């Protein structure tokens, strides 16, 4: 069983944490994030160390314990370092262009796809001749950036035969052999 919830979180300098009525707010150099915490979980801050405790030993309380500890830790990392996700568009004629907070992509369909990116995410698209276009997203909110990255990937998932589609930079796609030629 995981014991993630029992690990204390050390709060780095320059980060302010406030706990009010079951809501944890984290402020840092890269912004501010807030998270509501279930009433079965209590959060305490003492001497620069954040501790998450559960009220009982029920299965749901144990699962919430580790989850909220991870969420609060991700918020602290987000406001200090931030998160960055890079996706590459693999395929002939695939393109990406950013206009303000609108990401325009050509993914081999008969039409271009327009996605409105939330204002909390900074997005850039880089196209170098001879290489696949790369879409880079930066934010302090790990949940939001992961959700947007998953949405973009779902528009054209990488397929196993040619490897075409939207994939994360460095992601390995297992390739399959096609049909064998008849002799």
**105 plus 148 within the same structural domain:** yes
Residues 8, 143, 133: CA angle, nearest 5 degrees: 130
120-140 pLDDT, tens digit each = 999 999 999 999 999 999 999
pLDDT at 48 over 70: yes
Q: In whole angstroms, what is the distance from residue 180 CA to residue 183 CA?
A: 9
Given the structure tokens 């790369």, which residue do they identify?
Answer: 134
pLDDT, tens only, 75-124: 999 999 999 999 999 999 999 999 999 999 999 999 999 999 999 999 99
- Calculate the alpha carbon distances from 175 to 73, 93, 150, 152, 164 in Å: 36, 21, 21, 21, 11
Q: Are residues 31 and 71 in the same domain?
A: yes
DSSP 128-153: -TTS--EEEEEES-HHHHHHHHHHHH
Neighbouring residues of 68: CB distance < 8 A, sequence distance ≥ 6: 5, 35, 37, 38, 41, 43, 52
Predicted pLDDT at 177: 87
Alpha carbon 88 to chain centroid distance?
Answer: 16
Residue 182 covered by a domain: no
User: What's the domain count of the chain?
Assistant: 2
Residue 42 — φ and ψ, nearest 5°? -120, 145
Q: Where are the alpha helices (DSSP H) in the chain?
A: 59-80, 142-155
Last residue of some domain: 16, 46, 80?
A: 80
98 falls within a domain: yes
Q: Is the pLDDT of residue 5 over 90?
A: no
139 and 62 fall within a common domain: no
- Output the pTM of the full model: 0.88
CA distance 117 to 114: 10
Please list, in sequence order, all residues whose beta carbon lies within 8 angstroms of the beta carbon of residue 134, skipping any fewer than 6 positions away.
Answer: 86, 87, 88, 89, 96, 125, 126, 127, 169
Looking at the structure, tell me whether residues 90 and 160 fall in a common domain.
Answer: yes
Provide the CATH number for the domain around residue 15: 3.90.930.12
Q: Are residues 94 and 57 in the same domain?
A: no
pLDDT digits (tens, 9 = 90+) for 137-168: 999 999 999 999 999 999 999 999 998 999 99
Q: Does residue 173 lie within any of the structural domains?
A: no
Which residues span the domain enclosing 66? 4-80
Is 176 a domain residue? no
Structure tokens at 7: 């690990």
């Amino acid at each position: 069983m995981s014991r993630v919830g029992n690990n204390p979180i050390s709060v780095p300098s320059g980060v302010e944490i406030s706990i009010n009525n079951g809501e944890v707010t984290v402020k840092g150099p890269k912004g501010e994030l807030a998270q509501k915490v279930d009433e079965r979980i209590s959060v305490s801050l003492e001497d620069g160390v954040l501790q998450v405790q559960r009220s009982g030993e029920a299965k749901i309380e144990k699962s919430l314990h580790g989850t909220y500890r991870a969420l609060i830790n991700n918020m602290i990392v987000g406001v200090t370092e931030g998160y960055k996700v890079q996706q590459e568009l693999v395929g002939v004629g695939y393109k990406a262009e950013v206009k303000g907070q609108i990401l325009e992509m050509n993914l081999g369909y008969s039409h271009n796809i327009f996605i409105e990116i939330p204002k909390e995410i900074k997005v850039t698209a880089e196209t170098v001749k001879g290489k696949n276009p790369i879409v880079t997203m930066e934010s302090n909110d790990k949940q939001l950036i992961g959700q947007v990255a998953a949405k973009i990937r779902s528009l054209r998932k990488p397929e196993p035969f040619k490897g075409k589609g939207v994939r994360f930079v460095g992601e390995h796609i297992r390739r399959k052999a096609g049909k064998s030629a008849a002799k």
